[in-house]
Structure 1
Amino acid sequence: MTTAPEKTDLVTLTIDGVQVSVPKDTLVIRAAEQVGVQIPRFCDHPLLEPVGACRQCLVDVPDAGNGRGFPKPQASCTLPVAEGMVVNTQATSEVADKAQQGVMEFLLINHPLDCPVCDKGGECPLQNQAMSNGRGESRFQATGGVKRTYPKPINISAQVLLDRERCVLCARCTRFSDQIAGDPFIALVERGALQQVGIYEKEPFESYFSGNTIQICPVGALTSAEYRFRSRPFDLVSAQAVAEHDSCGSAIRVDHRRGKVMRRLAGNDPEVNEEWITDKDRFGFRYAQSGDRLSHPMVREDGELRPASWPEAFAVAARGLAAAGAAGVLTGGRLTAEDAYAYSKFARVSLGTNDIDFRARPHSAEEADFLASEVVLRSPVTYDDLEHATTVVLAGLEPEDEAGAIFLRLRKASMGRPGTRVVSVAPYASRGLQKMGGQLVQTAPGAEPAALASLVEHADYGIDTGAIVLVGERLAAVPGALTAAADLARRTGARLAWVPRRAGDRGALETGCLPTLLPGGRPVADAAARVDAAATWGVDSLPESPGRDGDAIVAALAAGELGGVVVAGVDPDDTADPAATRAGLEAARFVVALDLRESEVTRLADVVLPVAPVTDKAGMFVTWEGRPRPFEVVLHNPASLPDLRALAGIAEELAALGHGATLGFRTVAEARAEMEEMGPWDGERVAAPAVDPVTDEGAAHDGGLRLASWKQMLDNGRLQDGDAALRATARTAVVRVSEAVASEVGATATLTGDRGSVTLPVEVADIAEDTCWVPANSFGRGVLADLASPGSRVTITPATNAAGGAQ
C-alpha cells in the first residue's frame, strides 16, 4: 500500500531576475523552464539521467547561493538548485550567450550542413539552435577545409541507421538503451575527435524499443530505414492517436500525407507511456496499406465472391442470417469499445442470442467467471501504482513481449530506490525478467496454481498489501490458475489486475462481448440486469440463457446446431484448436466476415464487409487498467466503414424482415452516447466459483517434454506486414531446453506434438528438464496449428538432414 508523499522541501532562487521556488534537487535547466526561459540543450532529456555531454546549456552563475559564484559558465542540465542561487541565462547574460555560441561553433566544425537532404531537417534542434543561439560565421575550419566523413549509413539494426558524421555525441541514444530499455547494445566508442556511436559487430542493436533512439536523437544521426528520405516534416499533417497493438493504450502521433500514413511517433503522456513506445507501435502501421486490403463489399454468387454495393451486401447478409436460423458472433480483440458495443447489442437485439465471445484464443469457463467477478468495472491498478508497489507478481504474463509500456514502467520501478521487486511465475527467467532484476518462481506448464498458492507462505517474496498481481490472459488455459491468482490477492491483500494482449479485449469485456455478460458488467443470468439493458435498448426482452463461448460456437457450427456466424477479424490459427475452427467455419451455412484485409475467413465467407482500420475511424480503446483512451479519425477513406456502421446496416435489414430491432445508432458518437446512457451495472456482481487445479502428469507421453509458449512482440502477426525492416528485427525462433536435453539433441531439434512437427535451433536455458519453450507465432502457422496446445506433452529428437543423419 502506497503512502501519501511528504511535503516537498522548496528552494528559492533567482533566474534572469525572476524569483522562483522549486523542489530541492531540481536542476537549473528545469527551474528555468518554470519561469519561461528555454535554455538550449542536446544531451538533456527529462526522463534520462543528466550527463552534461554537449555543454550547450551553459549559464552564468554569479552567486551559487553561498555568496560566491562560479568563475566559468556551468552546465545547467547537471547543476542542482541551491537556496539563494542567482542564475543568468543567455537571455540576460553576455557571458552565457557567448559560451553557448562557442559550443555551437565547435559542434558545427565537422557537422555536415546537409539539412536539405537530412531526415531531421525542419524539426531539428541543432538546426533551430544554430539559428537562435549560434554565430552567423564560424572562426574555425575543419582539417584541410574538408569536414569529417564516414561510410554511411551504418546499420545499427535492420530498422535503425546511423550517419556518424552528424552525431554530436549527446549520448541520448546510449543512455536510453542502457537506462530505460535495458538493451546496452550501442555505446560511444573511441576517444576525442574520433569518438562515435558504435556497436559490437557480432551483435546488432536488438531491442523492442530501438525506435525511441531515433525520435530523441537531436540531430539526423539516427534514422529509420522505412522512413528515410520518404517525406519532410513540413509536408506532414499530424494527429494524436492511440496504439492498437496491445492493451497498454500508448499515446502516439500519426504523421500523414495525401491520405497515407508516413510515420508514427511516441506521444507524451506521463500517466501512461511517458514518451516511449515499442517498435511495434511505432513501425507496425503499414498493414493498412497492404495490397490485399479490402476495398469494397463482396457477396457470394454461384460459389464465387463478387463485388457488391453496401446496401446489397447488407440485404444479402440479413437474408442469409435469417435463413440460417440460430447464429453466433466471434469478435476477436482488435475492436474499439464502440464497435464491440455494437457487436454485443447486435447479437442480443438482432440475432436474439448470447452466443458471442471476443476471446479468439485458448480460454475456459473459469475465465468468464473470473472476468465477471474480478475484472469488469474495476480499475484497481494504474501505471503509477506499478512504480510504487513493493512487489509485482507476473503470472502468465511476459511484459517485454506482451505489454511493452508495462515492461518499461516495471523496469523503471525495479531500478529505483527502493526498487520494486518483480517476481515471475514462469518456466524460465526471460530476457525481460533479467533486465528487471526479477526473481523467478520456476514453474512447469500446468503447475501455476500450486506455484501461486505457494507464494502466500513465502514471506521472502514480499507479497503483502503493497503488492500487485498482474495476470496475463495465458493463465486462462490452466485450470484453477485464475482462481489461485484471485485467492493469492485475497489472502495477502495484494491488488489484482488482468492484462490481455490485444487492444480491444478490455473494451470488449466491458461492453458485453462475452456469453455471460451484457454491457456494463450486467450478468446475463440476472433478470434485473436483462430488464435494465432491454429498457435502454428499447426492446421487450433479451435472451435469458448464458450463451456459448468461442469454442462452443465453433463446435455448434460443425454439429449443425448453429447455422450462421458473424466473424470480425479472427485468425483461426490463434484459436484453441485451429483445425476445429476451420471445420466449423466450413460447415456453417452462412458466414458474414467483417475484416480489413483478405484472410482465410473472408475466403470462406458468404458476405465480406471491409471495415476501417484505426486511422480511418474514431473510437476508444480501454487499457488493461480500465482507462478509456479515445481517439479521433485521422484519414477519411470511403472504401471502408466502422464495424458499428456495417452492423447497423445489417440490423436494419433484419428488422425489415421481422427479425429483431435496429441498433438505433450509425455513428461512433451516437454509439458512445448510448454506452454512457447505459452506464455500469449497479446491481449484484457475479461471484467466481472456486475451480480446483487439474494436474496432468502426462503419463501417456512418457519421455516427452511439457510445452510452454507465448507470443514474442515481433512475430508473424499480420499487423506487422508491410515493414520489412521491422520484421527483420524479430527475434529468431528457437526451442529453449535445459542443458541436459540440449546435450542429447544437439544444435537443432525436431519437436513433435499431436498437431504436427517443427524443427528449430536449440538454445540452452535455465529451465526444468521436462519442459521446453517455443515462441507461439514465429514459425509456420504457429504453435497451436503446427505443433500442440501449450501445456501438453511433445517429444524432442535430434533434427536429421536430407541424407537421414543427425545434424
Structure 2
Amino acid sequence: MTLTPEKNTTEETPVPEGHVRLTIDGHVVDAPKGELLIRTCERIGIVIPRFCDHPLLDPAGACRQCLVEVEMGGRPMPKPQASCTMTVADGMVVKTQNTSERADKAQQGVMELLLINHPLDCPICDKGGECPLQNQAMAHGRADSRFVERKRTFPKPLPISSQVLLDRERCVLCQRCTRFSEEIAGDPFIDLLERGANQQIGIAEDQPFQSYFSGNTIQICPVGALTSAAYRFRSRPFDLRSTPGTCEHCSSGCDMRTDSRRGTVLRRLAGNDPEVNEEWLCDKGRFAFRYLGSARRITRPLVRRADGELEEASWTEALQIAADGLSAARDGAGIGVLPGGRLTVEDAYSYAKFARVAARTNDIDFRSRPHSGEELEFLAAHVVGTAPEGVPGEAAVTFEKIENAPAVLTVATDPEEESGIVFLRLRKAWRKKGLRHFQVAPFTTTGAEKTGATVLHAVPGAEAAVVADPGADATAALEQPGAVILVGDRAAESPGLYSAVSALAARTGASIGWLPRRAGDRGALEAGAVPTLLPGGRPVTDAAARAELERLWGSGPLPAEPGRDGDAILAAAAAGELAALVVGGVDPHDMADPQAAITALREVGFLVSLEIHTSAVTELADVVLPVAPDAQRSGSYVNWEGRNRPFGVALDATGVLPDCRVLDTLGVEMDTDLFTQTPAAAAGELARLGTRRAGTLAPSVAAGEPRRPGYGQAVLATSRQLVDDASLAIDEPALAGTARRPYVKLNAATAERLGLTEGEDAAVRTDRGTITLPVALADTPDGVVWLPTCSPGSHVRPTLGAGHGDLVGVVPATGNGSAS
C-alpha cells in the first residue's frame, strides 16, 4: 500500500495489481481489494473508534461507533457508514472524525446512546484503567450527558460458567464474545437473547458456557461486562506488575502476559503473536497458575534423617549430602537421570550435560510417559534440528503451514484436548480456507466435529494399519503440495505407528510435525536429554560428535554406548543395577506402569528429587532440592514447531533456584564443572554447539496387532482431557468447574453386548482396580471402550495398571460386586 498527498494525484503512479486507489482525509491511498476500510485507516495511522470490530473476527457492524463519511463517484452517501463492514473501492473518498463534522457528530451520538444505560461504576469495575469505553468516551464523546432518567439494571453478576461472570448492564452488545465463541472456538453456548431494548447476552438454561477458550471473551470484551471469577475485584490494572511470558502447559508455546501484585500472580492475559497464538489463549494457560502459591510448594531443601523422616536443611548441607550419595553411586552401579517433560531448554541441557559429565552415563530420558525406541528413531529422523527458519532440505511444520495446508492428518493426538492453539488454527483453516482435516482416532471427538474432520476410526493398537492405508480420499488429499501430518506422542503406545507415519509421508510428500503434549518435550529432545542423542541431535555412537563435545565441555571421555530409556532406567534401579536416581519434575503415575515406577523409586539406593511441589517422588527421596517454577525463573521453551519461546522472571525468586543452577552447584560438589550457573549461560553454550543432524533413517517397525476382547472384555482406548487432574492445575476450582465430565465411551452394539445402558454406570476393571463412570455412546469401533486418562474418578494407569490397547473387563456397575 502506498500513501501520497492528494495534491500529487495529477501525476498518479499506476495502481498496483490487486489494489484500489481511494482518498482518506485528504491522502491518496492504495489498498488491497476487499480490505475493510477501518483496516486501511489503521495502516496510515488514523484511529477510528470502535467496539465490535476485532481483526480476527468476522465484521458485524453491531456498535456503529466507527461511522465515517463516504463519497462514491463524487456523490456523498446519504448517511455515515460503518467503516468496519465497508470494503475499500476505487475512487472512494472517505472523511473520518478528523476531517468531517458529520462523522464526528455521528460518533458522539452513538457514544451518548451507549452511555444511556451504562453504569458509571468505573472506580469499582475490573476494566477501569484499561477500558476502551473509558478511553473513547473521553476522546470521542460529549463532555456532558442529557440523560437524567434511571438507568436500567440487572441482578449481578450472572455466572455464565464457573469462571466467567456477566454484568449485563455494562454490556454494549458488541457481540465480540458471541462471535469469538461461534467463529473461533466453535462453542456457541453464549448468545444474544431477547429483542430490542431487552436484548442481552446470556446462555441457555442449564447449559453453562463450557468452552476451553472462554477466558478470551473476558480479554476481548471492550467493557467490564465479562469478568473472571478468579480475578474479579482483586486489583486495579495500574497496580499490577506486567511481565511478558510463555505458557508452560502444552507444547504450543503461547505468548502471554503475567500480571502480579505484591508477589502474587493475579491473572494472565494472552499476548499478541501472529506467528503462534495470534491473540488467543486456552483456559488452562490463562487460569492454571495457582500452583505457584500452593500449600504443597517446596521452598526449602529437605534431607532424610536417620529416623527416616524428611527435615528441612540448608542448601549447603543438602547439596553436600546429595553430592556424596551420587558420587558413591557413580563409582558403583551408576546413576540414572529422569528430567521430565516440563523443563525449559536451558534446564534440559543442564540435565543432559550433568548425566554425561557428572554422572558419566547416557542413562537419561525426559519421556516421563509411555515411550518406545521406535519413537526415538522417528524423532531423530524427522524432528531434531528442524525449526521454522534455516532448515536445509526439510521445511519445518509451523502454525502458518497448518493454516495454509490443503489437508492435515492428525495421528495419536486430539489437538483440542492436547494443544488448543493448534486446534484453533485447524478450525480457522477449515472455516476460512476449506482445509480437509483427517483424524485417526477411536471415535469422533468434539474437536474433530468443530474442524470438519473425517475420522478414520482405529482400534487401539491398530492405528498403524489405518495410517498405512488411510483410503484413496485421504491419500489424494495428502499428495497435494503443502499437506501436513501431525503426530502426537501417544503414537509411542501403538507399535509400528511412527514407522507408518514415516512411510506415508515419504509416499505422499506430506510434511511431518511432532505434537508432544508437554511444554518441555521438544526442547529436551534438542538438548540431548535422551539415551541415544547428545545435545543438538548428535548420536551418542558418533565418535566425532563425542570428541566435539569433549573439547567444548573440557570433560574426559564421554560414554559411547546408548543408554537405557526411562522404563529401563526404572527397572534397573529396582533390580539394583543402578545405585541412584536423579529425578526432576516426574510424576510416576504418568509412566507406563506407575506401580513399577514407584517400586523402583522405593528400592533404589539413593534418590535425589528436584521439584516444585511435594509428590510421590519427594515422599521417597533422600534429598529434595526445591527448584523455581516459571514465574520465578527465566529461560525459554522450544515449542512443537522448534521455535524458541523466551520468558523472564515475574516474581521474586528468593529461596528457590532454576534446575540449571542446582545441577551446576551439585556438579561442583561432585568435582565437575558444568558452567550452567544461569539459564543465559546454558543457553549460550547450547547455541554455540548448534545442531548436527545425522540424517538417520526413518524407523521401520512392523505394525502391532490389536488385542481381541473375550467375553465381558473390551480394548481400552485412553487419552487426556485439557482440563483434568494435572499437577499444575491444582487450587483452581473455577477452572476445574469447566472440565468435561468423564465418561465410559463405547458404541451401542458393544454396550448391548456388555449389558450396559447409556447414562448408567459401568465398571471398567483389571486385576489391579476398577474405574466406575457413566456410559456415553460414541462411534467407537466394536469392542473398544474409552476412558479419560487423568480426570476425576478416572486415573487409568495408577488404578487399572493398563494403557492404550490393553484388554479390560467392562460390566454394569450395579451389583457387580467389585466396582469402587
TM-score under structure 2 length normalisation: 0.94
Question: C-alpha deviations, 1:640-669, integer Å up to 9, x for none?
Answer: 1000000001100001xxxxx210230111
Q: 2:448 pairs with 418, 430, 433, which one?
A: 433
Closer, same or farther: CA 805–649 of 1 in aligned 2, 3 Å:
closer
CA contact under 8 A between 2:770 and 2:819: conserved in structure 1?
A: no
User: Does 1:662 pair with 2:670?
Assistant: no
Letter of the 2:75 partner, please give it. R
Q: How far apart are 1:781 and its partner, in Å? A: 6.8
User: Does 1:103 pair with 2:107?
Assistant: no
User: Does 1:178 pair with 2:182?
Assistant: yes
CA contact under 8 A between 2:407 and 2:478: conserved in structure 1?
A: yes
User: Does 1:352 pair with 2:360?
Assistant: yes
The equivalent residue for 2:5 is none
Take 2:660 and 2:575, find their aligned partners in 1: how far apart are those partners? Answer: 30
Once structures 1 and 2 are overlaid, which stretch shifts more, 76-85 or 338-347?
76-85
The equivalent residue for 2:522 is 506
CA contact under 8 A between 1:711 and 1:775: conserved in structure 2?
A: yes
SS at match of 1:670: helix
The equivalent residue for 1:680 is 691
Take 1:94 and 1:755, find their aligned partners in 2: how far apart are those partners? Answer: 78
Letter of the 2:380 partner, please give it. A
SS at match of 1:39: coil
CA contact under 8 A between 1:611 and 1:641: conserved in structure 2?
A: yes
Q: How far apart are 1:456 and its partner, in Å? A: 6.4
Letter of the 1:426 partner, please give it. A
Provide the aligned C-alpha RMSD in A. 1.6
Q: How far apart are 1:9 and its partner, in Å? A: 1.2
User: Does 1:652 pair with 2:668?
Assistant: yes
User: Does 1:712 pair with 2:721?
Assistant: yes
User: Does 1:695 pair with 2:696?
Assistant: no
Q: How far apart are 1:703 and its partner, in Å? A: 4.1
Q: How far apart are 1:740 and its partner, in Å? A: 2.4
Q: How far apart are 1:786 and its partner, in Å? A: 0.8
Take 1:670 and 1:566, find their aligned partners in 2: how far apart are those partners? Answer: 22
The equivalent residue for 2:811 is 797
CA contact under 8 A between 2:459 and 2:706: conserved in structure 1?
A: no
Q: How far apart are 1:712 and its partner, in Å? A: 0.1
SS at match of 1:400: helix
The equivalent residue for 1:598 is 614
The equivalent residue for 2:322 is 317
The equivalent residue for 1:3 is none
Q: Superposed, which structure 2 residues align to 1:168-567 within 5 Å?
A: 168-302=172-306, 303-324=308-329, 325=332, 326-379=334-387, 380-417=396-433, 419-455=434-470, 457-458=472-473, 462-464=477-479, 465-567=481-583
SS at match of 2:143: coil
User: Does 1:94 pair with 2:105?
Assistant: no
Once structures 1 and 2 are overlaid, which stretch shifts more, 334-343 or 28-37?
28-37
Take 1:534 and 1:247, find their aligned partners in 2: how far apart are those partners? Answer: 31
Q: How far apart are 1:626 and its partner, in Å? A: 0.6
Once structures 1 and 2 are overlaid, which stretch shifts more, 365-374 or 162-171?
365-374
Q: How far apart are 1:460 and its partner, in Å? A: 6.5
Q: 2:50 pairs with 41, 62, 82, which one?
A: 41
Take 1:198 and 1:495, find their aligned partners in 2: how far apart are those partners? Answer: 43
Question: C-alpha deviations, 1:287-340, integer Å up to 9, x for none?
Answer: 111011111111111111111111221111100111233010001111000000
Aligned residues: 787
Take 1:780 and 1:51, find their aligned partners in 2: how far apart are those partners? Answer: 43
Question: C-alpha deviations, 1:98-143, integer Å up to 9, x for none?
Answer: 11110011111111111111111111111111111111112234xx
Take 2:184 and 2:43, find their aligned partners in 1: how far apart are those partners? Answer: 26
TM-score under structure 1 length normalisation: 0.96
Take 2:57 and 2:792, find their aligned partners in 1: how far apart are those partners? Answer: 37
Q: Superposed, which structure 2 residues align to 1:719-730 within 5 Å?
A: 719-730=728-739
SS at match of 2:500: helix
Question: C-alpha deviations, 1:115-173, integer Å up to 9, x for none?
Answer: 111111111111111111111112234xxx21111111111110111011111000000
Q: How far apart are 1:677 and its partner, in Å? A: 1.2
Once structures 1 and 2 are overlaid, which stretch shifts more, 500-509 or 534-543?
534-543
In structure 1, the gaps of 5 or more residues are 1-6, 656-660
User: Does 1:75 pair with 2:77?
Assistant: no
CA contact under 8 A between 1:573 and 1:781: conserved in structure 2?
A: no
The equivalent residue for 2:41 is 32
Q: How far apart are 1:372 and its partner, in Å? A: 1.2
Letter of the 1:369 partner, please give it. E
Q: How far apart are 1:805 and its partner, in Å? A: 12
User: Does 1:609 pair with 2:617?
Assistant: no
User: Does 1:163 pair with 2:179?
Assistant: no
User: Does 1:783 pair with 2:796?
Assistant: yes
CA contact under 8 A between 1:186 and 1:205: conserved in structure 2?
A: yes
SS at match of 2:455: strand
The equivalent residue for 1:626 is 642
State percent identity of aligned pairs.
56
SS at match of 2:326: helix
The equivalent residue for 1:84 is 91
User: Does 1:121 pair with 2:132?
Assistant: no
SS at match of 1:253: strand
CA contact under 8 A between 2:336 and 2:578: conserved in structure 1?
A: yes
Closer, same or farther: CA 649–459 of 1 in aligned 2, 3 Å:
closer
Q: How far apart are 1:756 and its partner, in Å? A: 1.5
Q: How far apart are 1:801 and its partner, in Å? A: 6.0
The equivalent residue for 2:591 is 575
Q: How far apart are 1:754 and its partner, in Å? A: 4.2
Question: C-alpha deviations, 1:678-731, integer Å up to 9, x for none?
Answer: 11115x3332441111214336x4441111111000001111112110011111
Closer, same or farther: CA 458–77 of 1 in aligned 2, 3 Å:
closer
CA contact under 8 A between 1:735 and 1:763: conserved in structure 2?
A: yes
Letter of the 2:370 partner, please give it. P
Take 1:14 and 1:125, find their aligned partners in 2: how far apart are those partners? Answer: 28
Q: How far apart are 1:636 and its partner, in Å? A: 2.4
Letter of the 2:181 partner, please give it. S
SS at match of 2:790: coil
Take 2:815 and 2:785, find their aligned partners in 1: how far apart are those partners? Answer: 22
Take 1:702 and 1:33, find their aligned partners in 2: how far apart are those partners? Answer: 67
Letter of the 1:765 partner, please give it. A
Take 2:48 and 2:583, find their aligned partners in 1: how far apart are those partners? Answer: 55
Q: How far apart are 1:520 and its partner, in Å? A: 0.1
Letter of the 1:475 partner, please give it. A
Take 2:696 and 2:511, find their aligned partners in 1: how far apart are those partners? Answer: 19
SS at match of 1:773: strand
In structure 2, the gaps of 5 or more residues are 1-15, 388-395
Letter of the 1:49 partner, please give it. D
Letter of the 1:582 partner, please give it. I
Closer, same or farther: CA 762–459 of 1 in aligned 2, 3 Å:
closer
Q: Superposed, which structure 2 residues align to 1:50-61 within 5 Å?
A: 50-61=59-70
Take 1:569 and 1:433, find their aligned partners in 2: how far apart are those partners? Answer: 32
Take 2:706 and 2:141, find their aligned partners in 1: how far apart are those partners? Answer: 71
CA contact under 8 A between 2:771 and 2:794: conserved in structure 1?
A: no
Q: Superposed, which structure 2 residues align to 1:9-24 within 5 Å?
A: 9-24=18-33
Letter of the 1:16 partner, please give it. D
Letter of the 2:804 partner, please give it. P
